[in-house]
Structure 1
Amino acid sequence: MPSKTPAPYVLAFSSVLLVHPAIAETTDRTTLPNMEISAEADESSYLARDASTASKSSVPLKEEAQSVNVVTPQAIQDYQVRSLDDAMKFVSGVSQGNTLGNTKDALVKRGFGTNDDGSILRDGVRSVVSHNFSAATERVEVLKGPASLLYGALEPGGLINVVSKQPQYVQSTTISGSAYSEGGGSLTVDTTGPLGDTGLAYRLIAERQSEDYWRNYGIDQHTLIAPSLTWTGERASLTLAYEYNDYTSPFDRGTVFVDGHPANVSYDKRLDEEWAKTTGISETATARFEYQLSDTWKTRLTYGWNNDRYSLAIAQPSSLSSTGVLRRQANGGHYDYETRYASWDFIGQQDFLGQRHDLLIGAEQEDSDKYRGKTYRNTAQAGFNIYSPTYGSLAEPSVISTTTSNLSNQLTSTSLYIKDNWHLNDRWILVLGGRQQHYDQYSAQGLGSSRTVNRDDNGDTFLPFAGLVFKVNDALSLYGNYSRSFVPNETVDDDGKTFDPEEGRSFEIGAKYDISPNLSANLALFDIEKKNVVTTSTIDGVSVSDAAGKVGSRGLELDVTGRLAERWNLIGTYAYTHTEILDDPDNEGNRLSQAPKQTASLYLSHHLAIPSGLGNWHVGAGARYVGERAGDNANSFWMSSYTVADAFVRWEHPVAGYKTQVQLNVDNLFDKHYYPSSTGSELQVNVGEPRTARISASVTF
């Protein structure tokens, strides 16, 4: 007969030890293999010691021959991070790109990046989802420089990996809610715990948000449901996760520039129509199975799938008269983006001739299918005065374009890769790796007799990586690397033009230094060149793309994070990035658009020394600076530099025996007007959010 006493087990999450409650009275324990989830050095700190993105396993950051930044759960909580763009204010060298009317994540990394460049991952799987930060996000890891060795087709600026919250073996439920100063708010439930003595643990996160848009009309809504399940045995573990998000948000093209400056119009009034919005459903699913083959080797099977089905309706500006009359075109379309991913990895240590090799050997298959169905292109219409806007004169998009509808971009790739962290001795680590990738690419568009095949080809490429780490002492390590990147160009503009693959190379040197046990500094210097870079702009309502030929980016990045002193936490960043178009008949010598030369940020938080009977009080404030940016590659207009400050105060105290907290966050504290990005046109410049406040409360039991 099976015993009614639960089998004892202990689950180790890197440096955090979680013990099943049923084991508390058991003395004979079995220790299970560690799960690679990369824990924090200190749960209440902004400093992380390990990350999994650079090696697909938890490796100390000081042993990586690359620059890696982590936005920790504490930083996310303190500043109530609600988007990837918001999270990147804690990371050097990353700024906002063309967000497609605030409907997509768009991040420029070391001068490179678009809203559709494949550089955002969800738990290590490339994502096509429009917005990737949610209530299910635990932390964000940023790998700087080329990452094609482990992740395939990527531009060389870097990638961003959004890491999800995992099921826990300790029962906990948190109910939280927030109210937004512009109107509306959100309600979230996060519950996790073991399922009896089965070895299973669950997590369920659900959120409903409905908030008024800060400009004169629009609403931002979503419903999120994210269940996950983990099973852990003696040598094996399995994690299944799913996320569903039903959303609608305004499609806001921002404002217009006149003679190189923002037009003298109301900051909070939109220049489009109430029907201009995006509505869709995004889904992600992952399955990860690990088996401990021996004390030093394990194998991992990963499957990932994500899908984003949405519709856009846009009041697209096409021209502006000298008297302020804007000509607009009602455009729209239906989109269905999907990624399927599978990998098989072997991760372990092997000693050879007295030297340790930390090895990763793997194979992967990835399929990306980006489909745009019916596309609407109404006739452009004048008559909208930006200085005295009257809404309702432009009808919703309804005229189907036979030439641009049914656009299909398919990319399939199969790869083999290997990475070796070769410990030559206690101080020197040689990092070597390579990836052999085969890809097939297909693109076609048009309805009926207008349908044309733009591309149907394939190719092979080898991507090398070489790095060196020198551990000067326990506090300081130096590193350098050389790597290459490769991206098949998926761009097809409205004229059906396609482009050769992007190819890049990068050199980087840097230092990682522990100023104190809980405060760390990272310094990186890099030089990147890339050719066959495609830029897209909209002219008279038609997307036109061009290859910029050869471009370069070089610069310096500094990040300081951790505990500055007792009760004080710090995040400080600085980046200098010089970008240049190196080979182009029209724009040679110009700076790349959307890429600031200088960015910086400084954020401090403090745990106030107040008698415990009054609860725990935390306060914090900081600011980010973004330098002047070119609005397009022709450098025909510029967006001015800006500095935006944020602040928070949080109170924590048990209420009726339950952990309770109330927090107030104020963003853009001094109500700065600023313009963070553009689409490459003076008629479409994004407008930064003004001063807003959010009060939130939660109880955990």
Structure 2
Amino acid sequence: MVKSLNRAPSWVLLCSVLPGLAIAATELPSSVIQATGEGDGADSYTQARGETASKSATQNRDEAQTVNAVTARTLDDYQVKDLNDAMRFVSGVTQTNTLGGTKDALIKRGFGSNDDNSILRDGIRSAIGRNLGATTDHVEVLKGPASLMYGALEPGGVINVVSKQPQFTRSTTLSASGFSEGGGSLSVDTTGPLGDTDLAYRLVAERSHEDYWRNYGTDEHTLIAPSIAWVGERASASLAYTYNDYASPFDRGTVFVGGRPADISYRDRLDERWAKTVGISQSTTAKFEYQLGDAWRSRLTYGWTQDRYSLAIAQPNTLNGNTLRRIANGGHYDYESRYTALDLIGDQQLFGQRHEIVVGLDNESLDKYRGKTYRNVNTAAGNIDIRNPVYGRLAEPSTVSATQSNAENNLVTTSLYFKDNWHLNDRWILVFGGRQAHWDQYSDQGLGRSYAPGADSNGDEFIPFGGIVYQPSETVALYANYSRSFVPNDADDAGNSFKPTEGRSYEAGIKYTPTAALNVNLAVYDIEKKNLVNSVLQSNGDSLDEAVGKARSRGIELDVTGEIAQNWSVIGTYAYSHTEVLKNAEAPEQEGNRLPNAPMHTASLYLTHHLALPAQTGRWHVGAGARYVGERPGDNANSFWMDSYTLADAFVRWDLPTQGYETRLQLNIDNLFNKQYYPSTTGSSTLQVEEGALRTARLTASVKF
């Protein structure tokens, strides 16, 4: 039987590391790092500065890469609850296999998965399944290969979830929401200085219990996130800890028949009431900074994330007519990341030219462990009629598989890296750098006599980056870059490890800022990825990992964000992405195919208007928009496709005319026209196609004082 984890929080972590959220910029000496987040983008759909591309606050127009942001205002206006949904406001990023709705799973420029380690929390790689929540301030997206700054990564890009930070201005916000399907949430967010000291605190807490939009299931969590920051004359330090106790449905979606969705109920699930994920996620981030002089500062960073969970699945196996055969599977998982880095960050004048320099040394460990793994036998009890499902016949998973239990994969990398934004003059910026990485990886699996060692490999990689920025005016920046990426393969061929997956990218674009409140970004790119490894079925019935080939993605992206007129704001995106399998040694018939879950066309347009009404009535804000996702192949063979879809969303917010308090009422409606749609598949099966939520509404009330 799959059981819940022990739910006692690890409070000892609060005392075990140095402090770790970035320090607020309020009234700090000029030598102390300036924080992004609350302020830049706090009341706008655009953000001029970010930290993801260079690990320090840098103007986005000075970077030779595409940097997009989903600001705090955007997240609040559209009441975004998960990272997959937040990416509707960014071009070229779409959903892929979410593992039954339990993982952030995003394709960036054609590449990505739910397990590609491309999600960062405050610049530190996260092992947690779901990363956006009540602690999130805003999200930054760095497009293209990001291995220069962040090591082993897929070539599509990284997504950095930036946390709310302790502030030296006291405030408390209380919020409550009700959900149209049933249930709701309560939260508190309080921050301020600690007396007359140089310390500031923040505490975010939330309890949520909401009914799932399909015919059964609940989604709930209890979150608590304290943080503290200290600022001295030359030094600063901070610590943040997040604890999240959660449970959510594990929903494999629906089935396709003859390349089309089966003609069955859209709301009825095809699994069991016990099909869910229960777990605890935790994270700790610690930073210490010291100003070495007018031009240089040092930063010591420590980060730790962990996601410990159990899951139970009524796994679809075969479909015969209207009878779907399912097998009860499950397991216990422990995913963990640890990160330590020492950075020297300089803004240096050399021979009359400005250099924004980052030199760093980091060590990172990624551990993925699956303990007891349950694989029940295939019996008639697993049968269910997809037209008239009856639940309760299939028992929860309880049979331990010796061969698949105790599966572990560990990747440790140690790297030295360097980046320089060299301002040649007022118009030209040369951006260049490199990372020298050494990696060690091993894996094993099995219990007792079934134990089998897996990949055990190591190697060295040098990752170069080169780019150029030309700014002919204060409003226009042209840029181009060449970059590379790498990811060690965790697969092996009878004990022989494969070469790391490698990517290379060319990109060029234009950044146009006609006003401080409006950004327009246009980019074109070409990415290739090689040394792909697939599990290939052999003639004897066994599966064997084999290096099979190369894939490419080419595309165009357009993002328009900000204020287009007084009281009018816009978010507009368009992306054309053509993915293609260039080589597949084991399945040459798939050469030329598109990559699964990757649409060729996506677009969105959202408008917000602040109504000009008498002050005594309060302030009213309305917003609405739509997003389009083109058709996508459901598997590598392109044997079936998911249709394109367009969804509309809207909100109205009333800022009440109360004295001394910021009081708000807000109504959000998602999928306004109740559209049925299919956002992603597992990438291999017509029996596991995710369904998107039908129309839902959320009423939120908050007061800030």
* Structure-2 residue corresponding to 1:569: 569
The reply on whether 1:672 has 2:675 as its aligned counterpart is yes
Which amino acid letter does the alignment assign opposite residue 454 of structure 1?
G
Which amino acid letter does the alignment assign opposite residue 167 of structure 2?
Q
Local SS of the residue matching 1:610: coil
Q: Please say if residues 300 and 341 of structure 2, whose CA atoms lie closer than 8 Å, have aligned partners that are also in contact.
A: yes
Q: CA deviation at 1:283?
A: 0.2
Which amino acid letter does the alignment assign opposite residue 686 of structure 1?
E
Local SS of the residue matching 2:117: coil
Q: CA deviation at 1:352?
A: 2.2
Match of 1:693 among 697, 701, 704: 697
The gaps in structure 2 that reach 5 residues or longer are 1-21
* Structure-2 residue corresponding to 1:557: 557
Q: Please say if residues 519 and 562 of structure 2, whose CA atoms lie closer than 8 Å, have aligned partners that are also in contact.
A: yes
Q: CA deviation at 1:38?
A: 5.3
The reply on whether 1:183 has 2:182 as its aligned counterpart is yes
Local SS of the residue matching 1:216: coil
Q: CA deviation at 1:351?
A: 2.2
Local SS of the residue matching 2:100: coil
Q: CA deviation at 1:309?
A: 0.3
CA distance in structure 2 between the aligned counterparts of 1:220 and 1:538, rounded to whole angstroms: 37
Q: TM-score, normalised by structure 2?
A: 0.93
The reply on whether 1:107 has 2:106 as its aligned counterpart is yes
The reply on whether 1:447 has 2:447 as its aligned counterpart is yes
Q: Could you say if the C-alpha distance between residues 32 and 426 of structure 1 is closer, same or farther in structure 2, counting changes exceeding 3 Å?
A: closer
The reply on whether 1:379 has 2:377 as its aligned counterpart is yes
CA distance in structure 1 between the aligned counterparts of 2:496 and 2:254, rounded to whole angstroms: 29
Post-superposition Cα deviations, 1:672-691, rounded to whole Å, max 9, x if no partner, equal 00000000210000000000
Which amino acid letter does the alignment assign opposite residue 477 of structure 1?
A
CA distance in structure 2 between the aligned counterparts of 1:549 and 1:578, rounded to whole angstroms: 17
Post-superposition Cα deviations, 1:468-520, rounded to whole Å, max 9, x if no partner, equal 00011101010000011000123579x99964320110000000011333211
Q: Please say if residues 66 and 480 of structure 1, whose CA atoms lie closer than 8 Å, have aligned partners that are also in contact.
A: yes
Match of 1:614 among 612, 617, 632: 617
CA distance in structure 2 between the aligned counterparts of 1:688 and 1:537, rounded to whole angstroms: 31
CA distance in structure 2 between the aligned counterparts of 1:478 and 1:547, rounded to whole angstroms: 38
* Structure-2 residue corresponding to 1:271: 270
Q: CA deviation at 1:19?
A: 4.9
Which amino acid letter does the alignment assign opposite residue 389 of structure 1?
P
Q: Please say if residues 647 and 666 of structure 1, whose CA atoms lie closer than 8 Å, have aligned partners that are also in contact.
A: yes
Which amino acid letter does the alignment assign opposite residue 702 of structure 2?
S
* Structure-2 residue corresponding to 1:623: 626
Q: TM-score, normalised by structure 1?
A: 0.94
* Structure-2 residue corresponding to 1:218: 217
The reply on whether 1:18 has 2:26 as its aligned counterpart is yes
CA distance in structure 1 between the aligned counterparts of 2:364 and 2:607, rounded to whole angstroms: 41
The reply on whether 1:655 has 2:658 as its aligned counterpart is yes
The reply on whether 1:646 has 2:654 as its aligned counterpart is no
Q: CA deviation at 1:34?
A: 3.5
CA distance in structure 2 between the aligned counterparts of 1:223 and 1:281, rounded to whole angstroms: 10
Post-superposition Cα deviations, 1:199-237, rounded to whole Å, max 9, x if no partner, equal 000000000000000111111010000000000011111
Q: CA deviation at 1:41?
A: 4.2
Post-superposition Cα deviations, 1:308-336, rounded to whole Å, max 9, x if no partner, equal 00001000001101x21111110000000
* Structure-2 residue corresponding to 1:367: 365
* Structure-1 residue corresponding to 2:322: 324
CA distance in structure 2 between the aligned counterparts of 1:194 and 1:93, rounded to whole angstroms: 41
Post-superposition Cα deviations, 1:408-445, rounded to whole Å, max 9, x if no partner, equal 10011100000011111111111110000000001000
Q: Could you say if the C-alpha distance between residues 251 and 667 of structure 1 is closer, same or farther in structure 2, counting changes exceeding 3 Å?
A: same
Count of aligned positions: 676
Q: Please say if residues 548 and 581 of structure 1, whose CA atoms lie closer than 8 Å, have aligned partners that are also in contact.
A: no
Post-superposition Cα deviations, 1:290-321, rounded to whole Å, max 9, x if no partner, equal 11111111000000000000001000001101
Q: Please say if residues 39 and 48 of structure 1, whose CA atoms lie closer than 8 Å, have aligned partners that are also in contact.
A: no
Which amino acid letter does the alignment assign opposite residue 701 of structure 2?
A
* Structure-2 residue corresponding to 1:282: 281
Post-superposition Cα deviations, 1:17-43, rounded to whole Å, max 9, x if no partner, equal 6359xxxxxxxxx66624343565453
CA distance in structure 1 between the aligned counterparts of 2:46 and 2:544, rounded to whole angstroms: 44
Q: Please say if residues 457 and 497 of structure 2, whose CA atoms lie closer than 8 Å, have aligned partners that are also in contact.
A: no
Which amino acid letter does the alignment assign opposite residue 201 of structure 1?
A
Alignment of 1:408-447 (within 5 A): 408-447=408-447
CA RMSD in angstroms comes to 2.0
Which amino acid letter does the alignment assign opposite residue 698 of structure 1?
S
Alignment of 1:76-87 (within 5 A): 76-87=75-86
CA distance in structure 2 between the aligned counterparts of 1:36 and 1:55, rounded to whole angstroms: 14
* Structure-2 residue corresponding to 1:3: none
CA distance in structure 2 between the aligned counterparts of 1:543 and 1:109, rounded to whole angstroms: 29
* Structure-1 residue corresponding to 2:19: none
Which amino acid letter does the alignment assign opposite residue 697 of structure 1?
A
Alignment of 1:467-478 (within 5 A): 467-478=467-478
The reply on whether 1:300 has 2:299 as its aligned counterpart is yes
Q: Please say if residues 423 and 429 of structure 1, whose CA atoms lie closer than 8 Å, have aligned partners that are also in contact.
A: yes
Which amino acid letter does the alignment assign opposite residue 678 of structure 1?
T
CA distance in structure 2 between the aligned counterparts of 1:287 and 1:268, rounded to whole angstroms: 44
Q: Please say if residues 296 and 348 of structure 1, whose CA atoms lie closer than 8 Å, have aligned partners that are also in contact.
A: yes
Which amino acid letter does the alignment assign opposite residue 402 of structure 1?
A
